[in-house]
Structure 1
Amino acid sequence: MTRTIQAIRGMNDILPDQIYLWEFFEQTVRDWMTAYGYRNIRMPIVEQTDLFVRSIGAVTDIVEKEMYSFLDSLNGDSLALRPEGTASCVRAVLEHNLLYAGPQRLYYSGPMFRHERPQKGRYRQFHQVGVEALGYSGPDIDAELIVMCAELWKKLGISDVRLEIGTLGSAESRALHRTRLIGYLERHLGRLDDDARRRLHSNPLRILDSKNSEMREIIDGAPRLLDDLDEDSLAHFETLQRLLRDQGVDFEINPRLVRGLDYYNRTVFEWITGKLGAQGAICAGGRYDGLVEQIGGKPASAAPACGFAMGVERVLALMVECGSEILRPVPDVYVIHQGEAANGAAWKTVRYLRDSGLRAILHCGAGGFKAQMKKADVSGARFAVIIGDDEVQAGEISIKPLREAAGQVRVGMAEAVDLLKRT
């Protein structure tokens, strides 16, 4: 027997009974972005592998273990399914010289790909909404992005989220801290796990993000990057805190907050919930002032930037956990008909109803009135419109409420539209 083909593990179908929640979220995000002046940009899901190696960092879990990369058999290019969106967005901004017109507020959404062990809230194809503000150097844009998120959670009916912020300082302050951190970790070399030893000299900051509970004591005792900040980075961070307080946004300072991508500097932040178990981070971001030049922009065109990305699946799961009340869209009318003359009248009727702004389903296929009524009920429609020989001769239609006890009425078309809209 032929083996049944199923979806790839960790890459999920989104079914019609689930899609209403996605559509509500997507429309809310579009309205929210427009209100803040952010414009949509759409990038390919396949990019040159080197784009992500150069931006994310060669010694990162994403590049080393998770990225779907492959050779294009037609020309030998090394390509990758995008594991995140910031690098792709910056590449597009550079390629099309968008910064020539001035700073850019941009957003995008769509699937990302990482080869991880699938579990609740972590998939191999997952969806993100990403927001990038390019050309802005001050902490005011950092604060705006965070305030935007706080507003979105309210719009989505989300509660039980907390904000953690931190700073990675400048390249110079990180270099100073890196030396101190490596020295400290080398004194505890025997207690480091294999992953930490591997990263000790290539990416020691990532060791601070280890989930190995046996290393918690060592991590807690490590030097703090906050203590090595240069004056400008410290002033930037203090202004960010003041702006957030002014806007009534609560936060916690997490001195161990690091990001899994090498391009971040200064501000970093995460929105975290306790309702989703291990996958508690629903949104994360920060500042990446050097990425434009790192990807290939000339120093003269390099621009400061800040952004964030949120995991759509996790946000939707949190909406469900928080009991967000989202109404499922249902048709207004299901049109039932029987007989050749009634069939022609039904086509005209359903077109008239739709032109009048009503959501109308025309019954297709065989079946008597009783069978069609069952399908009308299953459809979720609020009313059944019934057309038979009597209705055709009278030039009228019958309307039967399906969600309440009111009786059936027979009216003309114009009166029917008014009745349906009114009720």
Structure 2
Amino acid sequence: MAESLRAVKGMNDILPPESARWEWFESKVRALMARYGYANVRTPIVEPTALFVRGIGEVTDIVEKEMYSFTDAMNGDKLTLRPEATAGIVRAMVEHNALYNGPMRVWSEVSVFRHERPQKGRYRQFHQIDVEALGFKGPDVDAEQILMCRALLVDLGIPMANVELQLNSLGQADERLAHRAALVKHFEAHADILDEDAKRRLHSNPLRILDTKNPAMQAMVESAPQLMDFLGEASLAHLNAVRAILDAVGLTYRINPRLVRGLDYYNLTVFEWVTDLLGSQGTVCGGGRYDGLFEQLGGKPTPAVGWGMGIERMLLLLEAVGVAVPAGAPDVFAVVPAAEAMPVAVALCETLRSAGVSVQMHAAGAESWGSMKSQFKRADASGARHALIFGADELARGEVALKNLRDAQAPQRTLALADVAAWGADLRNA
């Protein structure tokens, strides 16, 4: 017998009933995007490696350590499995001149690939909701996107007490350069504390050192110069305008001067929604403004802001706070005691499905039809609310039996076959 094959480590299958939780989550996202006027966009899973080197930043963990890159055997092109979504969306907008008629609000659900050590809430293939507002430069759109995140959390049933919004500004390029020089000077004065990763990044990307998880460096990092002290009047005004909107709607937040995000393309507003319920994987949503990325990728200067939300982490958070996610059960399970009843049962079930009622039917071969008892076990296990029983006596009278599977006290009753469609319509409208 051939050796069985397994999924790649850190890349997970999503099977029923777990997949029903994903569908429920995705339906909430689609409804939210429609409310805010964001249109769906879809980009390739494979992009030129240069897109991410230029877009994310050459001296980042993603580009240096985590990308799945390869050379196309057919033509020698250097390609990469998408490690994040924004760069690909911007590339598509530039390539197709999609903003010719004005700004766009778009969103996407994407598979993302990073070669990391797999752990709970952090996988090598994971999934994100990605949201982008392209061509808008005002702080009102920054605030809009933050409020979208809050609205989704509320729609999902996550209490605000279990999440915290952290906010910061990365200013503009000249302000970051001045801050960068001060950081380098500070880190050089503490060179004996720097680990190898920090020493490597000291002159290429010192801002990333602020992200260190090394306990021995925490006190030194905390005493480092803060970018907020280098922000000019315009950058501070942009941040304060975002804050004014959040204050006006009563959204609490914390200014975190060490919040820098893990990608080099950000400027001005950056934010994260974090929780203390998921251990080290506490960031469930994050994003910010990236006004320079279009030009960086060959397009015209275009302001933009966006965020990403990890689906796996959100589902873990839903579990942690005790949100009961619907299991995707059918409305009706059709119990068919004998093969002779199957033609009528199939026809009636199709009528119900056409009316929007979800129906799961018993099906079996001629030699394994199954007893009524076993069929009712399957009906109960399906999670269906009702069972329609196509017994011979009932069918002879032009009827079908109806049993409420979720209320043991409700009596079984019969419906005329001609009335089942109307009953199904009432069920869907209830």
TM-score, length of structure 2 as denominator length: 0.94
Indicate the residue corresponding to 1:341 in structure 2.
Answer: 340
Q: Is the 8 A contact 1:341 1:392 kept in 2?
A: no
User: Displacement of 1:347 after TM fit?
Assistant: 1.6
Match of 2:397 among 394, 397, 408: 394
Q: Is the 8 A contact 2:121 2:312 kept in 1?
A: yes
User: Displacement of 1:419 after TM fit?
Assistant: 4.6
Indicate the residue corresponding to 2:127 in structure 1.
Answer: 127
Higher mean C-alpha displacement, 118-127 vs 413-422:
413-422
Give 1:310's aligned amino acid. M
Give 2:180's aligned amino acid. R
Cα distance in 2 for partners of 1:342, 1:151 equals: 49
Q: Is the 8 A contact 2:103 2:136 kept in 1?
A: yes
Indicate the residue corresponding to 1:243 in structure 2.
Answer: 245
Cα distance in 2 for partners of 1:282, 1:203 equals: 25
Task: Say yes or no: does 1:372 pair with 2:375.
Answer: yes
Cα distance in 2 for partners of 1:152, 1:371 equals: 41
Give 1:129's aligned amino acid. I
Indicate the residue corresponding to 1:320 in structure 2.
Answer: 319
Cα distance in 2 for partners of 1:177, 1:409 equals: 76
Higher mean C-alpha displacement, 404-413 vs 112-121:
404-413
Q: Is the 8 A contact 1:128 1:309 kept in 2?
A: yes
Task: Say yes or no: does 1:149 pair with 2:152.
Answer: no
Q: Is the 8 A contact 1:43 1:88 kept in 2?
A: yes
Q: Measured at CA, do residues 128 and 391 of structure 1 come closer, stay the same or move farther in structure 2, by a change above 3 Å?
A: same
SS at match of 1:101: coil
Cα distance in 2 for partners of 1:188, 1:357 equals: 67
SS at match of 2:100: helix
Cα distance in 1 for partners of 2:268, 2:404 equals: 60
Cα distance in 1 for partners of 2:355, 2:247 equals: 49
| 1:3-402 alignment runs, 5 A limit | 3-159=3-159, 160-297=162-299, 301-365=300-364, 366-402=369-405
Cα distance in 1 for partners of 2:152, 2:260 equals: 24
User: Displacement of 1:24 after TM fit?
Assistant: 1.6
Cα distance in 1 for partners of 2:169, 2:415 equals: 68
User: Displacement of 1:417 after TM fit?
Assistant: 4.0
Q: Is the 8 A contact 1:257 1:268 kept in 2?
A: yes
Q: Is the 8 A contact 1:147 1:247 kept in 2?
A: no
SS at match of 2:192: helix
SS at match of 2:370: coil
Q: Is the 8 A contact 2:24 2:326 kept in 1?
A: no
Indicate the residue corresponding to 1:405 in structure 2.
Answer: 409
User: Displacement of 1:326 after TM fit?
Assistant: 2.9
Cα distance in 2 for partners of 1:191, 1:343 equals: 76
Cα distance in 1 for partners of 2:360, 2:98 equals: 45
Higher mean C-alpha displacement, 413-422 vs 237-246:
413-422
Percent of pairs with identical residues:
52
Q: Is the 8 A contact 2:168 2:271 kept in 1?
A: yes
SS at match of 1:258: coil
Q: Measured at CA, do residues 388 and 243 of structure 1 come closer, stay the same or move farther in structure 2, by a change above 3 Å?
A: closer
Higher mean C-alpha displacement, 399-408 vs 154-163:
399-408
Give 1:33's aligned amino acid. M
SS at match of 1:5: coil
Cα distance in 1 for partners of 2:115, 2:132 equals: 25
Deviations 1:266-321 (A, max 9, x none): 11111110111110001111111110000111xxx220111111111111111111
Give 1:250's aligned amino acid. T
Cα distance in 2 for partners of 1:179, 1:32 equals: 42
Cα distance in 1 for partners of 2:219, 2:391 equals: 79
Give 1:416's aligned amino acid. V
Higher mean C-alpha displacement, 171-180 vs 386-395:
386-395
Q: Measured at CA, do residues 343 and 193 of structure 1 come closer, stay the same or move farther in structure 2, by a change above 3 Å?
A: same
User: Displacement of 1:241 after TM fit?
Assistant: 1.7
Q: Measured at CA, do residues 164 and 411 of structure 1 come closer, stay the same or move farther in structure 2, by a change above 3 Å?
A: closer
Q: Is the 8 A contact 2:330 2:382 kept in 1?
A: yes
Cα distance in 2 for partners of 1:152, 1:411 equals: 41
Match of 2:419 among 412, 415, 420: 415
Cα distance in 1 for partners of 2:373, 2:273 equals: 53
TM-score, length of structure 1 as denominator length: 0.95
Higher mean C-alpha displacement, 214-223 vs 382-391:
382-391
Cα distance in 2 for partners of 1:392, 1:24 equals: 37
Deviations 1:321-372 (A, max 9, x none): 1122333332222222244531221222212222333222221102233332
Structure 2 unpaired stretches of 5+: none
User: Displacement of 1:68 after TM fit?
Assistant: 0.4
Q: Measured at CA, do residues 2 and 267 of structure 1 come closer, stay the same or move farther in structure 2, by a change above 3 Å?
A: same
Cα distance in 1 for partners of 2:12, 2:171 equals: 39
SS at match of 2:17: helix
Cα distance in 2 for partners of 1:401, 1:151 equals: 35
Cα distance in 1 for partners of 2:379, 2:206 equals: 62
Cα distance in 2 for partners of 1:402, 1:140 equals: 50
Cα distance in 2 for partners of 1:407, 1:234 equals: 68
- The count of residues paired between Structure 1 and Structure 2 equals 420
Give 1:326's aligned amino acid. V
SS at match of 1:384: strand
Cα distance in 1 for partners of 2:275, 2:65 equals: 26
Q: Is the 8 A contact 2:108 2:131 kept in 1?
A: yes
Cα distance in 2 for partners of 1:131, 1:344 equals: 48
Cα distance in 1 for partners of 2:355, 2:296 equals: 55
Cα distance in 1 for partners of 2:35, 2:380 equals: 39
Deviations 1:27-69 (A, max 9, x none): 1111111111111101111101100000101111000100000
User: Displacement of 1:418 after TM fit?
Assistant: 4.2
Deviations 1:213-234 (A, max 9, x none): 1001211111111111122112
